[in-house]
């Protein structure tokens, strides 16, 4: 397992839920969500700088069938912007059912949906990040799909 803090972002229409790992990359914990919108990347960049992030994960909201819809396209575009502006590797992670799991966890802890509305996005980001950390621990390779590979290969999709 590579040492270093990772963050995860759950891109929503109202908030961007955030989570970070410890420096060993073993445990995910929630951070305060940032408001969605034009300044959302700035809020995440502040977390990237504060925690000296090794890598960022962005949840990819796929349909249960695995197909991508408008939300997935929005998450891909947001992830590309984060990759461009942050200078850290960004990877997309399948987040199917993470919000459902987060809601269940909140209810199990005695919180109503109304009480947990402001925290659910970060709880979902914790689930996404912990899954990515667990996968890397099991396989020795980072989880998910890298964002911006064409830049890494020399730009415009050309091999380096």
Predicted confidence (pLDDT) at residue 19 exceeds the cutoff of 50? yes
Sorted by where each begins, the domain ranges of the chain are 6-142
Task: Using pLDDT thresholds of 50, 70 and 90, give the confidence band for residue 124.
Answer: confident
DSSP 70-129: HHHHHHHHHHHHHHHHH-S-EEEEE-TTHHHHHHHHHHHTT--HHHHTTTHHHHHHHHHH
Query: What is the per-residue pLDDT for 45?
Result: 97
Predicted pLDDT of residue 118: 62
| pLDDT tens string 73-113 | 999 999 999 999 999 999 999 887 555 555 465 556 666 55
Q: What is the pLDDT of residue 156?
A: 34
Task: Work out the average pLDDT over 18-41.
Answer: 94
pLDDT at 152: 38
Q: pTM to 2 decimals?
A: 0.82
Domain 6-142 has CATH 1.10.357.10: no
pLDDT digits (tens, 9 = 90+) for 127-142: 999 999 999 999 999 9
């Amino acid at each position: 397992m590579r040492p270093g803090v990772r963050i995860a972002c759950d891109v929503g229409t109202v908030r961007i839920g955030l989570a970070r790992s410890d420096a060993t990359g073993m445990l995910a914990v929630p951070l305060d969500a940032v408001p969605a919108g034009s300044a959302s990347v700035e809020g995440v960049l502040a977390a990237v700088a504060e925690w000296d992030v090794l890598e960022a994960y962005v949840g990819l909201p796929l349909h249960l069938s695995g197909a991508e819809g408008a939300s997935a396209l929005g998450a891909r575009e947001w992830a590309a912007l984060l990759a461009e502006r942050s200078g850290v590797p960004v990877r997309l992670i399948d987040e199917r059912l993470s919000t459902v799991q987060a809601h269940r966890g909140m209810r199990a802890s005695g919180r109503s949906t109304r009480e947990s509305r402001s925290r659910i996005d970060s709880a979902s980001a914790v689930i996404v990040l912990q899954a990515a950390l667990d996968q890397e621990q099991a396989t020795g390779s980072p989880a998910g799909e890298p964002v911006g590979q064409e830049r890494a290969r020399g730009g415009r999709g050309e091999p380096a």
